Amino acid sequence: MDTRIAELLAAIKKLQQELLLEIEKKEADFYYTVIGKKVRFEAEVKKQHRALMQQLSPYLSEASLFNLLTAPFIWFMLIPALFLDLSVTAFQATCFRIYGIPRVKRSLYIVIDRHSLAYLNIIEKINCMYCGYFNGLVAYVQEVAARTEQFWCPIKHARRLAAMHSRYGKFMEYGDAEGYRRHQEEVRRAFADLEKDEAP
């Protein structure tokens, strides 16, 4: 891989880790702690949150007609999402084991914790669970697809991408036929960084 590209990818990864650390520091600012998968707020803060919760009747009466009319379309998307989740999970459970590709930990991507916020009413909590699930699912599926692509066709595109997935930096250059034939097996097995990063 090009040295400059490797340096940039390492810098991006470092910045992402720094960003996550800064986000974690907000625990102290907003008086909560995360223990395992549980979020705990201080009792006084939880009481203040409950006081700020909008009751259902004003919440629904203030909702626009378009919000109410489009809600069934939004929620209908849950059906293909659940099918996609099941399909991708079954795919990697079988194929990744066969080809020796490290499996993606679904729980690292699908995080549902906003329902713990006492200032959200029941509809807001359900909506937040939907968004957490759906966006986490998209990230999970992208990572499964990225590892699949690294194994089967780790070649960069000639055209510019809007965004790169996590494995793209390991791919071989577009048009480098010799490099592809020489390093294909090496690149399709280059998952050592994942095993270190995702160790339980």
Q: Is residue 17 part of a domain?
A: no
pLDDT at 57 (0 to 100): 86
pLDDT at 2 (0 to 100): 67
Q: How many domains does the chain have?
A: 1
Residue appearing with tokens 């201080």:
42
Domain that holds residue 102: 31-197
Taking residue 75's Cβ as centre, other Cβ atoms within 10 Å add up to: 12
pLDDT at 105 (0 to 100): 96
Q: Is residue 11 part of a domain?
A: no
Q: Is residue 149 part of a domain?
A: yes
Measure the CA–CA gap between 98 and 88, rounded to whole angstroms: 15
Q: Is residue 166 part of a domain?
A: yes
Q: Is residue 139 part of a domain?
A: yes
Indicate the pTM of the whole model. 0.83
Q: Is residue 3 part of a domain?
A: no
Q: Is residue 143 part of a domain?
A: yes
With a pLDDT cut of 70, the percent of the chain lying above it is: 94
Spans of the chain, pLDDT less than 50: 199-200
Q: Is residue 69 part of a domain?
A: yes
| Token code pair at residue 135 | 């966006």
CB distance 81 to 137 below 8 Å: yes
Helices (H) and strands (E) in the chain, counts: 10, 2
pLDDT at 200 (0 to 100): 39
User: Whose CA is closest to 167, among 134, 142, 185, 186?
Assistant: 142
pLDDT tens column, 142-162:
999 999 999 999 999 999 989
Residues contacting 30, CB < 8 A, separation 6+: 41, 45
